C-alpha cells in the first residue's frame, strides 16, 4: 500500500501517457521546472521537445496545441491560473471544440487542457480564484473535475486518450489530498459518477474539493440523517443514469457547486433531475457561490462567498422536511 | 494542386474567379444563404502561393477562403455544394462559406476569427518538425489580422522555434471598411522584422511574382531556417461581404476601385498562345457542372444537426426532453 498525492496522481498519469504514446506532448509555462506541480521530472525524463516551456503567450500556445493535434499529436496544455481559461476561451470553445462539427467530421482535436489548482487558493484574490467548469460544460467541452488522487490519475489518462478536446480542473482544495492506493491505478471512464458514501435519506451531489465537505457533513450527521455522497467526477457529459438511480432511492437532493449561482452547474443538475420526473419528496437545494461572485482578497471575504460546510449542513437538514 | 506553368497559374485564377462569380449569382438567387466574402481580385495570391507548395504541405485559411481551398486542389463541385449547405459538400453542409475546407488536402480549417489560423499553422509546423517531416505550413491572413495579438504571439513562437511556417498577409487595403492607414501603426514588414522573420512585399496582383517569392520562402522553411513573411499587396474588387450590396457603404472611391481593376491579375497573366479561350471554356463547363452537382445535392437531415460534434459518438441531450 502506498500513499498517493493528488498532484502525484496527475504527474504519474502524464508520465505514463508520455511513455506509452510518442504523440503525447506537454505545453505550458514553467512546465520544465514543474512549478504548478503537474510536471516535475518530466522534462528531464522525456526531453524539452516533448515537455515544452512556452513564453507567456497563452492564446498562441493553446491554438498551437490544436494545430499540433490536427497534425497527429496529442498535446496536453497546462494553465497555472484558472482565470487564464477566460483568456483562451476563444481557442478552446471557438476553435478546438468546433472544428470537428464545422468540418463535418473530417478531423478531430484530441487536446487536453489541465488546470492544476482551480478555485480559491486562499489569498490569490479576484483574478486567480475562479473555478470555471460550468462555463466549459455550457459550451459542450468535455469537462472533468476529479476529487481524489486515483480519479485524478484515471481521468487524466482518459482525457489524453480521448479523441475530443477535454478540460480537466484539478481543484486547488484537493491538491494536497493523499490517499492510500491499494490497487493498480487505472483509467476512469469519462462520464461515470462515483458514490463515495452510500446513504438512504438525501443525495448530495458534490464535485471536486466539495466532495470532502460533503463527506464531513455526512459523517457529522450520521445517526440522524443518512447522506449519500454522489461525485459526478465528470461535469460534462454528466452521468444522469447514476444520479437518477440515487435520487430514486433517497427522494431528496442537495447540490454543492463551487460556481456562481446564475446559470451554474448546480442549476443544471437540479433541473435535469426534476425534468426526468424524479420522485422528490421535498424541494431540492443547492449551495453555490452567489450570483456573479468575484472573490475578494481578505480571507474572511473569500470564504464568505464559497460554499461552506455550514451551508451544506443547513441545506441537508432543510430538505429533510 | 495548382500547376506552376503559365497555363496552370491562369487556370487556377480563372477557376477561382468563375467560382466566385457563380457563388455571387447563387447568393443573389437565394441558393446560398448567409452570403460570402468574395475573393475576386485577390486570385493571384492564393494561386501564386499554392503553386509553390507540395501536396503534403498544409495551410490555414480565412473567412475569405474559397480561393485558398480551391488553389490547394479542392473539388469545386463539392465546394459549391458546401456553400449551398448540402450533405454532398466538403463539410457535409456543416461549415458553409466561411469554413469550407478539405482536410485531406492539408487545409487545416478556414477560420471565421481574424488571425486565429496563425497559431494553428504554427502548431502543425511544430508537429511536422517533431515527426521528422519536411512539410511547410502556410497561414493566410489579411491586413486586419496585423492588429490581432494572437498573430504576433504566433510569429514570436514560429521565429523562436524556427518553425517551417510561411506567414502570408493579403493586404487588400481594408479591414472590412477600415483602411490600413487608419488601422495599422507601423507596417506589416516591420512587425515581421521585430521578430527577426525575413519579410518581403510582393505585388499581389502578379501571380508569378507571388509564386517566386513563395518558392524562396518555402525553400528557406524546408531547409530548417524557419519562418518567412510575405506581404502581398492586393485588392478585393467586390465588397467585404455580399451584404455590402444591400447596405450602401461609401468607404472606397470608384476611382480607387477602377485603378485596381485595371491591374486585374487574370488580365496580366499570359497562359500561352490560344490558351485563354480554351481554359475559360473548360472552366465554364466545370462550373456549370458544379452548379448542377451542388443544387441537386441532398439537404442534410435535421435529425443529424449535432452529428460530428464529438468523435466518440457522444450524443448531447436534446433541447426539449423527450
Is A61 in Cβ contact with B311 (below 8 Å)?
A: no
| Distance, CA of A251 to CA of A279 (rounded, Å) | 6
d(Cα A185, Cα A196) in Å, to the nearest integer? 17
* A281-304: burial string, b at 16+ Cβ within 10 Å, e else: eeebbbbbbeeebebeeeeeebee
Among B241, B305, B303, residue whose Cα is nearest residue B34: B241
Residues of A designated as active site: 128
* Residue B227 contacts A, CB cutoff 8 Å: no
SS3 for chain A is CEEEEHHHHHHHHHHHHHHHCCCEEEEECCCCCCCCCCCCCHHHHHCCCCEEECCCCHHHHHHHHHHHHHCCCEEEEECCCCCHHHHCHHHHHHHHHHHHHHCCCCCCCCCEEEEEEECCCCCCCCCCCCCCHHHHHHHCCEEECCCCHHHHHHHHHHHHHCCCCEEEEEEHHHCCCEEEECCCCCCCCCCCCEEEECCCCEEEEECCCHHHHHHHHHHHHCCCCCEEEEECCEEECCCHHHHHHHHHHHCCEEEEEEEECCCCHHHHHHHHHHHCCCCCCCCCEEEEECCCCCCCCCHHHHHHCCCCHHHHHHHHHHHCC
- Confidence (pLDDT) at A321: 84
Tell me the longest C-alpha to C-alpha distance in chain B. 67
Specify the fold of A194-316: Rossmann fold (3.40.50)
Nearest in space to A136 (alpha carbons), one of A168, A182, A173, A172? A168
Q: What is chain A's pLDDT, residue by residue, as a tens digit (321 residues)?
A: 689 999 999 999 999 999 999 999 999 999 999 999 999 999 999 999 999 999 999 999 999 999 999 999 999 999 999 999 999 999 999 999 999 999 999 999 999 999 999 999 889 999 999 999 999 999 999 999 999 999 999 999 999 999 999 999 999 999 999 999 878 899 999 999 999 999 999 999 999 999 999 999 999 999 999 999 999 999 999 999 999 999 999 999 999 999 999 999 999 999 999 998 889 999 999 999 999 999 999 999 999 999 999 999 999 999 998
Q: Is residue B65 helix, strand or coil?
A: coil
| Contact status, residue B3 vs residue B266, Cβ threshold 8 Å | no
The predicted model gives B238-261 an average pLDDT of 91
**Closest chain A CA to residue B92:** A104
CA dist A313 and A215 (Å) reads 11
Residue A219 near chain B (CB below 8 Å): no
| CA dist., res. B316 & res. B306, Å (int) | 8
Tell me if B150 and A59 make a contact (CB, 8 A cut-off): yes
CATH code, B6-304: 3.40.50.970
Decide if B131 touches A, using CB distance below 8 A.
yes
Q: Which three cell numbers stand for residue B127?
A: 508537429
Question: pLDDT tens digits, residue range B222-237?
Answer: 999 999 999 999 999 9
Give me the mean pLDDT over the B72-78 stretch. 98
**Alpha helices in chain B, H assignment, sequence order:** 6-28, 43-50, 66-71, 76-83, 117-130, 149-160, 180-183, 188-194, 207-222, 254-261, 275-296
Q: Where in chain A is the domain with CATH 3.40.50.970?
A: 2-181
Report ipTM for this prediction: 0.96
Nearest to A71 among B128, B157, B314 (CB): B128
Specify the 3-state DSSP secondary structure of B270: coil
Contact yes or no for A268/A136 (Cβ under 8 A): no
Q: What is the pLDDT of residue B321?
A: 62
Residues in chain B: 322
| B60, B113, B128 member nearest A94 (Cβ) | B113
CA distance A231 to A229: 6
Task: Report yes or no: A215 and A263 within 8 Å, Cβ to Cβ.
Answer: no
Backbone angles phi, psi at A39, to 5 degrees: -120, 15
**A271: contact with B, CB 8 A cutoff:** no
- Between the CA of residue B41 and those of A164, B16, B304, what are the distances in Å? 38, 10, 37
Quick check: A320 and A252 in contact, CB under 8 A?
yes
Q: How far apart are CA A172 and CA B313, in angstroms?
A: 32
pLDDT of the residue at A272: 95
Cross-chain Cβ contact B124/A164 below 8 Å: no
* A165 neighbourhood in chain B, CB within 8 Å: none
The predicted pLDDT at position B78 comes to 98
Kindly determine whether residue B312 and residue A164, on different chains, have CB atoms separated by under 8 Å. Answer: yes
Q: Please tell me if residue A237 touches chain B, with a CB cutoff of 8 Å.
A: yes
CA distances (Å), B290 to each of A43, B76, B296, in order? Answer: 52, 6, 10
Check CB contact under 8 Å for A67 and B316. no
For the segment B298-308, the average pLDDT, to the nearest whole number, is: 95
Give the C-alpha separation, B172 to B142, whole Å.
7
The grid coordinates listed for B170 are 493579403
In sequence order, which residues have a C-beta less than 8 Å from that of residue B64 and are 6 or more positions away? B37, B38, B39, B42, B142, B170, B236
Which of A76, A72, A78 has its CA nearest to residue A23?
A: A72
**Residue B92 predicted with pLDDT over 80:** yes
Q: Which of A46, A106, A160, A274 to mutate to test the interface with B (most CBs of B within 10 A)?
A: A106
From chain B, pick out residues whose CB is under 8 angstroms from the CB of A237. 314, 316
Of B312, B309, B303, B314, nearest in space to A239 by CA:
B314
Per-residue pLDDT, A1: 66
For residues A28 and A75, the answer to whether their CB atoms sit within 8 Å is no
**Any CB–CB contact under 8 A between B160 and chain A?**
yes
What CATH code is assigned to A2-181? Answer: 3.40.50.970
Q: What is the mean pLDDT of residues B157-163?
A: 98
- The yes-or-no verdict on residue B247 having pLDDT over 90 is no
Note the pLDDT tens digit of each residue in B94-134. 999 999 999 999 999 999 999 999 999 999 999 999 999 99
How many CB atoms within 10 Å of residue B253? 9
Which residue ranges make up each domain of chain B? 6-304
Question: Using CB atoms within 10 A of its CB, is residue A176 exposed (0-12), middle (13-18) or buried (19+)?
Answer: exposed
Check whether B3 has a pLDDT greater than 90: no
Specify the pLDDT at position A2.
82
Q: Does A143 touch chain B (CB under 8 A)?
A: no
Residue A129: what pLDDT? Answer: 93
Count of CB atoms situated within 10 Å of the CB of A20:
12
> By CA distance, what is A87's nearest residue in B?
B150
Domain limits, CATH 3.40.50.920, in chain A: 194-316
Cβ neighbours of B113 in A, within 8 Å? 90, 94-95
Q: Any CB–CB contact under 8 A between B248 and chain A? A: no
Listed residue (A315, A296, A314) closest to A306, CA to CA: A296
Phi, psi at residue B127, to the nearest 5°? -65, -40
Amino acid at each position: 500500500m502506498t500513499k498517493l498525492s493528488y498532484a502525484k496522481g496527475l504527474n504519474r498519469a502524464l508520465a505514463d501517457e508520455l511513455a506509452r504514446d510518442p504523440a503525447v506532448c506537454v505545453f505550458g509555462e514553467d512546465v520544465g521546472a514543474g512549478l504548478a506541480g503537474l510536471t516535475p521530472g518530466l522534462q528531464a525524463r522525456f526531453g524539452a521537445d516533448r515537455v515544452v516551456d512556452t513564453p507567456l503567450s497563452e492564446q498562441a500556445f493553446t491554438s498551437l496545441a490544436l494545430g499540433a493535434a490536427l497534425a497527429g499529436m496529442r498535446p496536453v496544455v497546462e494553465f497555472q491560473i484558472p482565470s487564464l481559461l477566460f483568456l483562451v476561451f476563444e481557442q478552446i470553445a471557438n476553435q478546438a471544440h468546433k472544428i470537428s462539427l464545422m468540418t463535418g467530421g473530417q478531423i478531430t482535436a484530441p487536446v487536453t487542457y489541465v488546470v492544476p489548482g482551480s478555485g480559491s487558493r486562499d489569498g490569490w484574490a479576484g483574478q486567480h480564484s475562479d473555478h470555471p467548469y460550468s462555463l466549459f460544460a455550457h459550451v459542450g467541452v468535455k469537462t472533468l473535475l476529479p476529487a481524489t488522487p486515483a480519479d485524478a490519475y484515471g481521468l487524466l489518462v482518459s482525457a489524453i486518450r480521448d479523441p475530443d478536446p477535454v478540460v480537466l480542473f484539478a481543484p486547488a482544495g484537493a491538491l494536497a489530498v493523499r490517499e492510500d492506493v491499494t490497487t493498480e491505478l487505472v483509467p476512469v471512464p469519462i462520464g461515470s459518477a462515483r458514490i463515495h458514501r452510500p446513504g438512504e435519506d438525501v443525495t448530495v451531489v458534490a464535485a471536486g474539493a466539495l466532495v470532502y465537505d460533503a463527506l464531513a457533513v455526512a459523517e457529522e450527521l450520521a445517526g440522524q440523517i443518512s447522506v449519500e455522497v454522489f461525485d459526478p467526477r465528470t461535469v460534462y457529459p454528466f452521468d444522469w443514469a447514476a444520479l437518477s438511480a440515487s435520487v430514486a432511492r433517497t427522494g431528496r437532493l442537495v447540490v454543492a457547486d463551487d460556481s456562481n449561482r446564475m446559470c451554474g452547474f448546480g442549476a443544471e443538475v437540479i433541473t435535469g433531475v426534476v425534468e426526468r420526473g424524479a420522485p422528490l419528496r421535498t424541494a431540492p437545494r443547492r449551495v453555490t457561490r452567489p450570483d456573479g461572485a468575484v472573490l475578494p482578497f481578505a480571507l474572511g471575504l473569500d470564504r464568505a462567498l464559497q460554499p461552506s460546510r455550514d451551508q451544506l449542513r443547513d441545506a441537508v437538514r432543510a430538505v429533510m422536511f | 494542386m495548382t500547376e506552376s506553368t503559365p497555363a496552370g497559374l491562369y487556370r487556377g485564377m480563372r477557376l477561382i474567379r468563375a467560382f466566385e462569380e457563380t457563388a455571387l449569382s447563387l447568393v443573389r438567387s437565394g441558393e446560398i444563404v448567409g452570403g460570402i466574402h468574395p475573393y475576386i481580385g485577390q486570385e493571384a495570391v492564393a494561386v501564386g502561393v499554392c503553386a509553390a507548395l507540395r501536396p503534403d504541405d498544409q495551410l490555414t485559411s480565412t473567412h475569405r477562403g474559397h480561393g485558398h481551398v480551391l488553389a490547394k486542389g479542392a473539388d469545386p463541385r463539392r465546394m459549391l455544394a458546401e456553400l449551398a449547405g448540402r450533405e454532398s459538400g466538403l463539410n457535409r453542409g456543416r461549415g458553409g462559406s466561411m469554413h469550407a475546407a478539405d482536410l485531406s488536402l492539408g487545409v487545416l480549417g478556414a477560420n471565421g476569427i481574424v488571425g486565429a489560423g496563425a497559431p494553428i499553422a504554427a502548431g502543425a509546423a511544430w508537429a511536422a518538425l517533431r515527426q521528422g517531416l519536411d512539410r511547410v505550413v502556410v497561414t493566410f491572413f489579411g491586413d486586419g489580422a496585423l492588429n490581432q495579438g494572437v498573430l504576433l504571439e504566433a510569429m514570436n513562437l514560429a521565429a523562436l522555434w524556427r518553425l517551417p511556417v510561411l506567414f502570408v498577409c493579403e493586404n487588400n487595403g481594408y479591414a472590412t471598411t477600415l483602411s490600413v492607414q487608419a488601422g495599422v501603426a507601423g507596417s506589416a514588414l516591420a512587425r515581421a522584422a521585430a521578430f527577426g522573420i525575413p519579410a518581403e512585399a510582393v505585388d499581389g496582383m502578379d501571380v508569378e511574382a507571388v509564386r517566386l517569392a513563395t518558392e524562396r520562402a518555402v525553400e528557406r522553411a524546408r531547409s530548417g531556417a524557419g519562418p518567412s513573411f510575405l506581404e502581398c499587396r492586393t485588392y478585393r474588387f467586390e465588397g467585404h461581404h455580399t451584404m455590402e450590396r444591400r447596405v450602401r457603404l461609401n468607404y472606397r472611391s470608384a476611382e480607387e476601385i477602377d485603378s485596381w481593376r485595371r491591374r486585374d491579375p487574370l488580365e496580366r497573366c499570359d497562359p500561352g498562345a490560344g490558351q485563354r479561350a480554351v481554359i475559360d471554356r473548360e472552366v465554364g463547363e466545370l462550373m456549370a457542372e458544379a452548379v448542377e452537382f451542388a443544387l441537386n445535392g441532398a439537404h442534410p437531415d435535421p435529425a443529424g444537426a449535432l452529428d460530428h460534434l464529438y468523435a466518440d459518438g457522444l450524443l448531447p441531450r436534446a433541447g426539449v426532453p423527450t
